[in-house]
């Protein structure tokens, strides 16, 4: 198994999900991995509960099930800070990568890697959703509660999703990943409204805090190949983390990024500094006892999450925005994820007036 | 299980293998036994020709205090320690709440008597109102191993799980240094001190012992002029400054600016929590319209002062 291709130790198929075409596709693609049909995921959860690292163990098992609720949801964002009006598409839940800071460790109650296979429901729900938003541009993506491409060699979902969205011109569809699992992407026809995005960090943070993820160089190289194939690409510096020599660390990555990919092909870059609910801190301490990233100067923000003391956030943002602008990225749309108006004003020099204003800003280069 | 009368002298109290409670007051029980006698016989087991106590430490100790000669007991005829302990556990389980340290002792005994960890997590943690995870079991097992003097403080302060977990994360030597700081502190201060110390230590790779032995802290702990509470407060401030240097410095600048402005006593100017928002708030109270006018006038004068505008640089 290469670092970029995840295979579970075992696949659990919920009985009622057996007959879906996607189930059959996954079972074919996992090859010799043992699989088991179960009545309820609860059976598996009871078994792994007594493990020391339930979250880590959950990543080793793949659960095939149906989405019983809504596939499309507004991104929950965070109260008290500016939102970006994003919609999330929950096809897969959880991620095989094991980043120290990952919010999913706290957010998801089910630790199993989960794929929802009732795609007919997905297309139907999407049709209704996009019709209801037909008078505006919306951004939607699969990379919020999972990595968009980490399981793509098993599900091949990217092929179906890109085909679906290619003709839906009021939507900008984003696949967001830390992997280099781009085989399927390179085979399919790009769409002007389809963006493939990578989460990036300094080389040091990626090495020390993004366990099992490909290196930053590999991610940037993958982005360059996808861009050459004709897709628009995007990047997320999120979470930006203060660490010794962080200025050099982020400058180095931005330099590498903007000489490797054509800035004109970059749809947007988002910036967000490390933030987390207090309960995640306990989980991180238990699962990653050697990390120091949670012991910086965090204060309780307006949303109750821990975030860097504002002057420290501003320092991070101003430097990184400066690095991007000076390195040839003057025209790249930049935005903050979950930041306040005064941070926007001070670090970016403008404040989006409402969510639609931000949508317009981010979607304008995509036509 | 047989019921019999047994002389108190025949019960060996040295064998504490089944004991889960250490810190309790006997007063009410003594009064109750004096009034109506011992209605609920303790559980006893025979081991190496000695009668050892399985359950009912409080009852037996109260009877000893009352100088009773003999008491009714139930003798368990079970050979297996785990089975004997489970009798004691379920007897108590039905009648009272267990304290945090008792829960720790119960889990530790279950493990010692051969119950496997998976079964403890699955069956016993929920009975004790502890979420069923191995990490929680490990935390409670660690609680049961701390020094008796630390356990006494945990009990005295009725420390919550989160604070005990922090305390147990230090070495026995560090805990010894910490005990005098913990005794006079309230729950919140206690947790703050432990948390700051741990986090400064982890972030800066300095042993907590070294931080506690720094000159500035030793000067405070060694002072004869300061009361225990004053010592705690000063140490707390030192740790806060080390843990949150930028925020502490911002707070100091803000306070020093307000001092220079000499605000009227009744008026308070406050930044938003952690300076996260751009706004400041002014708070004052008044008893009549004259006081209201005076305060408003003083605030108006204040707003015109050049020095006052400096606070807006601190947002």
Q: What is the pLDDT of residues B34-56, one digit of tens each?
A: 999 999 999 999 988 889 999 99
Q: Which helix (H) or strand (E) holds B12?
A: strand B11-12
Please tell us whether the domain made up of B1-79 is placed in CATH 3.10.450.50.
Answer: no
CB contact (8 A) between residue A309 and residue B278: no
Chain B touched by A70 (CB under 8 Å): no
Q: What is the pLDDT of residues B86-119, one digit of tens each?
A: 999 999 998 889 999 999 999 999 999 999 999 9
Q: What is the DSSP string of A173-236?
A: EEEEESS---HHHHHSPP-TTEEEEEEE--HHHHHHHEETPPPHHHHHHHHHHHHHTT-EEEEE
CATH class for the region spanning A68-366: alpha beta
Q: What is the pLDDT of residues B164-193, one digit of tens each?
A: 999 999 999 999 999 988 888 899 999 999
Nearest CB neighbour to A300, from listed B118, B199, B274:
B274
Mean pLDDT of B280-300: 91
- Distance from C-alpha of A235 to C-alpha of B121, rounded to nearest angstrom: 43
Residue with tokens 């307006």: A302
What percent of chain A lies above the pLDDT cut of 70? 97
CB contact (8 A) between residue B276 and residue A301: yes
- Distance from C-alpha of A122 to C-alpha of A70, rounded to nearest angstrom: 8
Residue with tokens 């307000």: B258
**Residue with more model confidence, A80 or A72:** A72
- Distance from C-alpha of A18 to C-alpha of B116, rounded to nearest angstrom: 36
> Where does chain B hold its CATH 3.90.1530.10 domain(s)?
1-79
- Distance from C-alpha of A314 to C-alpha of B313, rounded to nearest angstrom: 14
- Distance from C-alpha of A327 to C-alpha of A288, rounded to nearest angstrom: 35
CB contact (8 A) between residue A309 and residue B138: no
Q: State how far Cα B163 lies from the chain centre.
A: 5
Q: Where are the domains of chain A?
A: 68-366
How far away is chain B from the Cα of A111, in angstroms, using its nearest Cα? 13
The ipTM estimated for the assembled molecules is: 0.89
How far away is chain B from the Cα of A337, in angstroms, using its nearest Cα? 16
Residue of chain A nearest B250, judged by CA positions: A311
Spell out which residues of chain B touch residue A51, defining contact as CB-CB under 8 Å: 134
Residue A335 banded pLDDT, cuts 50, 70, 90? very high
CB contact (8 A) between residue A54 and residue B274: no
Q: What is the pLDDT of residues B230-247, one digit of tens each?
A: 999 999 999 999 999 999
CB contact (8 A) between residue B135 and residue A52: yes
- For residue B264, the model assigns a pLDDT of 81
Q: Does residue A200 contact residue A236 with C-beta atoms inside 8 Å?
A: yes
Q: What is the pTM of this model?
A: 0.90
- Distance from C-alpha of B13 to C-alpha of A298, rounded to nearest angstrom: 51
């Amino acid at each position: 198994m290469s670092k970029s291709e995840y295979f579970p130790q075992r696949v659990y198929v919920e009985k009622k999900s057996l007959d879906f075409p996607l189930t059959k596709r996954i079972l074919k693609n996992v090859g010799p991995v043992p699989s088991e049909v179960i009545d309820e995921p609860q059976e598996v959860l009871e078994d792994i509960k007594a493990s020391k690292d339930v979250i880590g163990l959950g990543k080793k098992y793949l659960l095939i099930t149906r989405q019983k609720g809504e596939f499309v949801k507004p991104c929950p964002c965070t109260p008290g800070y500016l939102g970006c009006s994003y919609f999330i598409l929950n096809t897969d839940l959880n991620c095989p990568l094991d980043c120290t800071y990952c919010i999913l460790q706290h957010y998801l109650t089910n630790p199993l890697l989960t794929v929802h296979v009732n795609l007919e429901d997905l297309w139907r729900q999407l049709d209704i959703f996009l019709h209801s938003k037909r008078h505006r541009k919306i951004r939607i993506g699969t990379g919020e509660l999972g990595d968009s491409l980490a399981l793509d060699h098993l599900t091949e979902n990217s092929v179906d999703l890109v085909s679906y969205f290619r003709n839906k011109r009021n939507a900008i569809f984003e696949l967001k990943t830390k992997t280099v699992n781009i085989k399927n992407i390179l085979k399919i026809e790009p769409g002007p409204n389809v963006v493939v995005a990578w989460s990036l960090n300094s080389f040091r943070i990626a090495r020390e805090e993004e366990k099992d993820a490909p290196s930053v160089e590999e991610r940037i190289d993958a982005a360059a190949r996808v861009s050459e194939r004709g897709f628009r690409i995007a990047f997320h510096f999120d979470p930006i983390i203060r660490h010794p020599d962080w200025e050099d660390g982020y400058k180095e990555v931005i330099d590498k990024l903007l000489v490797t990919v054509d800035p004109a092909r970059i749809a947007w870059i988002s910036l967000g500094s490390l933030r987390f609910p207090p309960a995640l801190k306990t989980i991180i301490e238990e699962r990653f006892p050697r990390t120091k990233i949670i012991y910086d100067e965090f204060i309780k923000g307006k949303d109750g999450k821990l975030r860097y003391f504002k002057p420290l956030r501003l320092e991070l943002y101003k430097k990184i925005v400066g690095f991007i602008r000076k390195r040839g990225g003057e025209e790249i749309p930049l935005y903050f994820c979950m930041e306040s108006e005064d941070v926007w004003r001070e670090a970016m020099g403008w404040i989006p007036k409402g969510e639609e204003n931000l949508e317009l800003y981010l979607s304008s280069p995509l036509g | 299980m047989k019921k019999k009368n047994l002389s108190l002298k025949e019960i060996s109290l040295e064998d504490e293998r089944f004991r889960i409670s250490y810190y309790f007051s006997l007063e009410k029980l003594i009064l109750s036994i004096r009034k109506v006698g011992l209605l609920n016989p303790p559980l006893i087991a025979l081991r190496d020709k000695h009668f050892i106590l399985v359950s009912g430490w409080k009852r037996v100790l109260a009877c000893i205090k009352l100088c009773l000669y003999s008491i009714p007991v139930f003798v368990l005829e079970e050979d297996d320690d785990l089975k004997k302990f489970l009798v004691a556990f379920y007897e108590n389980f039905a009648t009272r709440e267990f304290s945090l340290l008792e829960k720790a002792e119960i889990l530790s005994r279950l493990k010692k008597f051969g119950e496997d960890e998976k079964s403890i997590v699955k069956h016993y943690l929920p009975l004790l109102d502890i979420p069923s995870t191995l990490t929680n079991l490990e935390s409670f097992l660690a609680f049961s191993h701390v020094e008796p003097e630390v356990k006494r403080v945990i009990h005295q302060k009725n420390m919550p799980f989160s604070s005990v977990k922090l305390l147990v994360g230090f070495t026995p030597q560090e805990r010894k240094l910490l005990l005098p700081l913990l005794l006079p502190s309230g729950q919140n201060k206690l947790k703050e001190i432990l948390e700051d110390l741990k986090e400064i230590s982890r972030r800066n790779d300095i042993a907590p012992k070294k931080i506690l032995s720094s000159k500035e802290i030793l000067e405070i702990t060694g002072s004869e002029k300061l009361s225990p509470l004053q010592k705690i407060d000063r140490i707390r401030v030192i740790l806060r400054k080390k843990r949150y240097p930028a925020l502490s410095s911002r707070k100091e600048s803000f306070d020093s600016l307000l001092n220079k402005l000499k605000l009227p006593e009744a008026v308070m100017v406050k930044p938003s929590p952690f300076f996260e928002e751009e706004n400041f708030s002014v708070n004052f109270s008044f008893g009549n319209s004259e006081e209201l006018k005076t305060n408003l006038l003083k605030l108006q004068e204040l707003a015109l002062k050049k020095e006052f505008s400096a606070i807006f640089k601190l947002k």
